[in-house]
Structure 1
Amino acid sequence: MSTPTPGADLPRTWYAKRSRLITAVVGAVILVGLCVLALMLPEKGGWGFGSRAGVAFTGVLGLGAMLMLGRPKVVAAAGGVTVVNLVRTTHLEWAQIVRVYLRPGDPWVYIDMSDGDTLPVMGIQTSNGKAQAISAARELRALAEKYGTAPDER
C-alpha cells in the first residue's frame, strides 16, 4: 500500500448537487410557508403566541430535515475517504476499502470494506444523473485502487 501524496487527484469531493438544491428549496418553502401561516392564523380560536411560535418552529424543523436529506457527500483525501450519509459520518483508511461499485438499479454507490461490511455512499447517487454517478464511482474506484488494496472491479 502506498501513502497518497498531495496531487491533482486529491482531495476530491462528490455530492448530489441536484438533490442538495431540491432539498434546500423545498426546506425553504416549508419554512416560509409555515411562518406565513403562523402570522395569518387568527387569534380567535386559541391561536395565541405560543401556538403560532409552534407552527413557525415546525417550519424550522422541516427545513432542518430537508437540509439533512441534502447532506450526503464523500470526500477522498490523503488520509482516506470520509463518507457523510444522512446522520452518520464514517472515515475509512484507504486500506479498508476492498471494492467500490454501482450496480444497475442501485440508487447510490456502495463500498465493500475489509471487515466484511458494506457501506452505502449516498453522496454519489444516480438521481443526479446516471452517467455522472458512473463516472464518480469509477473515479472513487480508481483512487481506492491507487492508494489502497482494492483488488479488481466487478
Structure 2
Amino acid sequence: MTQPPDQPGPPALPDLPVTFRPTRTRVVLIGVGVAACAVISVIALVLDTLSAAERISFVFTGLLFLAVLLLLSRPHVTAAADGVTVVNLTTSRCLSWAEILKVNLRPGDPWVYLDLADGTILPVMGIQPGVAKAQAVSDARTLRALAEKYGTAER
C-alpha cells in the first residue's frame, strides 16, 4: 500500500552522530551580534567627545550584547548511538535512548518537547519551528524515528 502524496513516509534515518540546530536563527543571531558589536565599537572610537572610560563602556556594552546573542544561538541536540545530548540556553543534559518515551512537536509549540521515563518533560530548544518550520518538523520526525528505533531496542 502506498502513502498518499500529502502524507510523508517515515524519514530516512541519518548516520549517527547527527546534530539538529536552528541554523537560520543561529546565523541571524550571530550576524546581528557581530554587526552590532562592531558598530558600537566603531562609534566608541570615532566620537571625539567620549572619555576613555566612556569608550571602554561602549565596547563593553557591544561585547555584552554579542555574548547574549551567542548564548541565544547555543541550543542544539546531538543524537548518537548511545543517546541524546540536549543543549539549551544554560543547561546541557545527556539522555540514554531508553529515557525518551516520546518526541512531541505540536502546532503552536515553540520547540520540541521530550516526554521522559522519569515523568518529566524536557524542552529541546535546538529544534524550533519559528523561522524554518518545515526543517523543524523534519528534524522532529527524524528524532522521533531515532528514538523509536534505538529506544525500543534497549527496553
Q: Distance in 1 between matches of 2:152 and 2:25?
A: 32
Kept in 2, the 8 Å contact 1:17–1:128? The answer is: no
AA aligned to 1:125 is Q
1:121 aligned to 121, 124, 131, which one? 124
1:23-68 per-residue CA deviation (whole Å, 9 max, x = no partner) reads 011101210111012112334xxx3212211110111111111111
Counterpart residue type for residue 54 of structure 1 = S
Partner of 1:15: 21
Where do 5+ consecutive residues of structure 1 fail to align? 1-6
Aligned length: 141
Say which SS state the counterpart of residue 126 (structure 2) adopts: strand
C-alpha RMSD of the superposition: 1.7
- Tell me, yes or no, if the aligned pair for 1:98 and 1:149 is still in contact at 8 Å: no
Task: Give the aligned partner of residue 33 of structure 1.
Answer: 39
Shift of 1:126: 0.4
The 5 A counterparts of 1:84-103 are 84-103=87-106
- Check if 1:109 corresponds to 2:112: yes
Q: Does 1:73 align with 2:91?
A: no
Tell me whether 1:48 sits opposite 2:51 in the alignment.
yes
User: Aligned equivalents of 1:23 and 1:110: distance in 2?
Assistant: 23
d(CA) in 2 for partners of 1:8, 1:40: 51
Give the 4+ runs in structure 1 shifted more than 4 A.
none
> By how many angstroms is 1:8 displaced?
5.3
Matched, 1:147 2:150: yes
Q: Which has the higher strand share?
A: 1
Q: How much has 1:108 moved relative to structure 2? A: 1.0
C-alpha contact 1:81 1:93 (8 A) present in aligned 2: yes
SS of equivalent to 2:130? helix
> How far has the Cα of 1:106 moved from its partner?
0.8
Amino acid at match of 1:55: F
> Aligned partners of 2:109, 2:117: CA distance in 1, in Å?
21
Shift of 1:148: 1.0
Amino acid paired to 1:17: T
One-letter code of the match for 2:15? D
Indicate conservation of the 8 Å contact 1:97/1:149, yes or no. no
Gap regions ≥5 residues in structure 2: 1-12
Identity %: 53
The superposition leaves residues 78-117 of structure 1 with CA deviations (integer Å, 9 ceiling, x where unpaired) of 1210011111111111111011010011121110111111
Q: TM-score, normalised by structure 2?
A: 0.85
